[in-house]
Chains A and B, each alone.
Chain A
Amino acid sequence: MRQTQSGAKSAVAADKTQLHHRSESKAAAWQSPVAWQAPLRSPDQVMRLNRLGSFHQSRLSFLRVLLRRMANERWQLRRTHWRVDACGVGTAVYEAKGPVRTYSLIAFARALADEDRSDRVIATAWDASFALFDGVPTEHDLQRLSAQVPLQEAGRITRSEITLSRANRSVRVFDHVRQALASGQQPDSALLDETGYLMRTTAVYGSGKFGALDHRFLRDRQELAMPFQAEMLTVYLIRQFTFDIVEHLAAADSPESATTLSDSTKRALGVGNATGLGMAPFLINHPALFNNWILARETALQQVRSLPQADVEAASDFSRLVSRAQRCANHWSSTHERQQQRITQYRQDLSQLANWLAHDSCFDRPYPWNAIFSWAQEQLSVEGQEAVVSLLLEPHGDIVDELASMMHIDESEHDVLDGAMTVSRIMQLVEAAFPDALATDFGNREQTARFWYVSADKLEPRLGERYQEPGAARESPLAAARDAAALYAACQQFDSHEPIARLVLKHPELRHAARRIQALSRFPYAEIQDNLIAASMQPIDMLRCKLSFFGANHFDPKSDRWVRITLARHAPLMDELASASDDWIYPPAA
């Protein structure tokens, strides 16, 4: 029998004390009348860059949460406006009508020369630009936004707009598809499979950026209160635009012979995304929120592991999804050497898992899901282990899905320093949260080789080499481990019973570190427990972690700080949402 929601919710209150005191021993549990509950994985295990950088999308990923909601609530999605010329220049509007409110994606398409196309954040022109409008736009709104949205960062939007975005065509794929459709043919599926999208976004801005509506004003809207729901809605609607624009151009090229994309071809296409360092600091700047993302995922895993037995349907679903995941893994490629190795290992891991499932009667054992989890921990690479975590959640929507509601938080309640806290308590918190930092020699240049900063031209986060480049004096406050160690050292100069208020008055440069360490005591999964300025640090791990929560897959790093991914690949089309299966992320064989 599956565990109930209340059981899942009770785990939300889990704190570090519980983490340490819960028994791992199943043997003991079998002798006890009280059901055994799996422990939450410790922050020390989970919050490592290597593991966070191996996360996969899951049922709790934001795109999947959004599509589930839209399906359950029977949202009506349709194109309401299409005024695009034969060159592909014009305006389109897509409407997403929910039970309470309507949102509209406004798209501005242009004809961009190939040489002007760049994924860089410093680009100034794109094939298409978008805004998610709060409601149904009037002609006046379209006029106003046509003068602003194509400018992106150089334009201004208003509280009527929730997101601002832009996308470029995938040159090879888009032109091929256009030509194929114009000649009445479906495109080469192998080429589409290799890339997985027609267009890729290079930024999806929300949360008040460039004048948009602040996220705090979305908190009372059930459909957008969760993190990045507006951004995911934007991406999902952009996907439909990419189909429409390529079909439109093919028809303009050859009205007599042109055909349209088949539904199965469309389904296999998502929206690409090129992501640089801009998204990495988010995980550091929003510790309470990040904690809740991780805690929801870990709680889901804990609840699944704690199920004493597997019902036949769930066991069957799991085996089926492992098989599908194997097939998906074969379609995942990367030119990045590190990722290539990981993908190779990941394929072997899945193969090993499938083999083990076929030959081991794990579903007949007590706590079968925990058996699978434990086996994976012992046998598979970190990439494989985290894939198994995501797969374990799949057949358990009744337990897992509700946990999505804990993934947002009003951070304003948690970013205030408690000046009354004693110096000794602060030291205890540092010792608990940053044991590695206290053992790190920050006088060693290898440990402080990098510095995070914001670029003057685009106000984008970047990573510099401290001892080779200028600018370290303007470092952003993202070196949490180093700063915690500095705070600890300063504490040693004060009486242990004194309030921290005195220390931060004398050392204002440690105020942010003191505030952060206090928050960490309430949020065990808030901090990445690696030195984020070390020479060995791989920023791409932070990008992948965040993107996995978005629901991205097909991670294809282009360097240690820039990655291409795909969103909504294999997702149901707009008119299929209500009837589609929620396991679309692992599609069946074509």
Chain B
Amino acid sequence: MNPDYSLGETESLVTRAGRGAGLSWGQAQDAGKAVVRLAVQGLPAADWFAALLPSIEATPYADRCPASVLEQGGVGIKRLWEASGSWLCPVAVGCSLADVVLLLGNQSNRSIIEVKAIRWPMLVAGFVLPVLARANCQVRLQFGQADVLVGHTGVFCEKVLVALSVSQVDELVVTVEPDAPSDAHPRNQSVYPSTPSRCELDPGSYQRLQAFALNATVPSTASSSMTGAGADQIDDN
């Protein structure tokens, strides 16, 4: 059994690691929350995120983000999301998808987005989870062998974990559709039978997250230890 960490520790570590790998603070913060949302669904999202970090570090943002997600000059959503480079980052896609879902909210029609060449596609679910209730919709993610329903009560699918733990797919099809009660949906099997209160992390993933998180910190010097924290060395009382 892997060591477990509190959800707060996990969020903090993922956020700092994301920032250390080159995400903006805003995206790194959203990634931290997204990973924890999936972790409490029983998904090894922190391991997925750890595996993603080297490619984030190696690729400029402009090459790994969707070139555009909205039609020019309007609020229409583009059907095809592609990167300028060779792959799409699930953090950038997840952030943008959560943003535009609110634009699509309360619509009676379903909208389909085709996301090309995305890495660790299941991470996207963690970003959209918190906006679904507000948008009165649910999101279906289809990639490889996986067919996942993300509703505001959780993540549901029929497939086993291995189908979700995919490092890259040629296409992720996202369907944003009007909300429906989860018990009315045929794929109403939660991916995890109970709600974990901790996040288990593979030791290798933990080390990798720690290593990237270090990049978001400033090494101490004798001077900064003294002035930066503001305390003196002497206990005079």
Contact = CB atoms under 8 A, between A and B. Distances in A.
Interface of A: 117-122, 159, 168, 170-173, 195, 207-217, 274, 276-277, 412-413, 415-420, 453-460, 462-465, 469-471, 474, 476-477, 495, 498-502, 504-505, 508-515, 539, 558-562, 564
Nearest to A460: B229
B235 A168 contact: yes
A462 B219 contact: no
A93 B227 CA distance: 38
A215 B68 CA distance: 39
Interface in B181-237: 197-198, 214-220, 223-225, 227-233, 235, 237
A564 B235 CA distance: 12
Contacts of A416: 98, 130-131, 134
Contacts of B224: 455, 462, 464, 469, 471
B26 A208 contact: no
Contacts of A168: 235
Interface in B19-78: 23-27, 29-30, 33, 61, 65-66, 68-70, 73, 75
Contacts of B8: 207-209, 214-215
Contact of B216 (A413, A454, A502, A560): A454
B112 interface: no
Contact of B233 (A118, A276, A560): A118
B120 to A, nearest CB: 18
Contacts of A465: 227
A376 B98 CA distance: 49
A495 B71 CA distance: 13
A419 B198 CA distance: 30
A558 B237 CA distance: 12
A213 B214 contact: no
A553 to B, nearest CB: 17
A277 B197 CA distance: 30
Contact of B197 (A214, A274, A498): A214
B99 interface: yes
Contact of A455 (B24, B98, B218): B218
Between B100, B103, B231, the greatest number of chain A beta carbons within 10 A of the residue's beta carbon is seen for B231
A549 B122 CA distance: 42
A246 to B, nearest CB: 16
B7 interface: yes
A496 B143 CA distance: 36
Given A207-B8, A560-B230, A419 B235 contact: no
A512 B197 contact: no
Contact of B219 (A456, A512, A559): A456
A434 to B, nearest CB: 17
A560 to B, nearest CB: 7
A182 to B, nearest CB: 21
Contact of A122 (B70, B99, B223, B225): B225
Contacts of A453: 217-218, 228
A562 B231 contact: yes
Between B5, B103, B130, B229, the greatest number of chain A beta carbons within 10 A of the residue's beta carbon is seen for B229
B96 A505 contact: yes
Given A419-B99, A462-B218, A501-B99, A508 B233 contact: no
B217 A454 contact: yes
Contacts of B218: 453-456, 462, 464, 470-471, 474
A174 to B, nearest CB: 10
**3 nearest interchain CB pairs?**
A419-B99, A511-B26, A208-B8
Nearest to A156: B3
Given A456-B219, A499-B75, A558 B232 contact: yes
A459 B33 CA distance: 19
B9 interface: yes
Given A420-B102, A499-B70, A511-B95, A477 B229 contact: no
B105 interface: yes
30 contacts: A120-B229, A121-B231, A170-B237, A171-B235, A208-B7, A214-B7, A217-B197, A277-B228, A416-B134, A417-B98, A419-B101, A420-B75, A420-B102, A455-B219, A455-B220, A462-B218, A463-B230, A471-B219, A476-B25, A498-B73, A504-B99, A505-B92, A508-B26, A512-B24, A539-B230, A558-B231, A558-B232, A559-B231, A561-B229, A562-B231
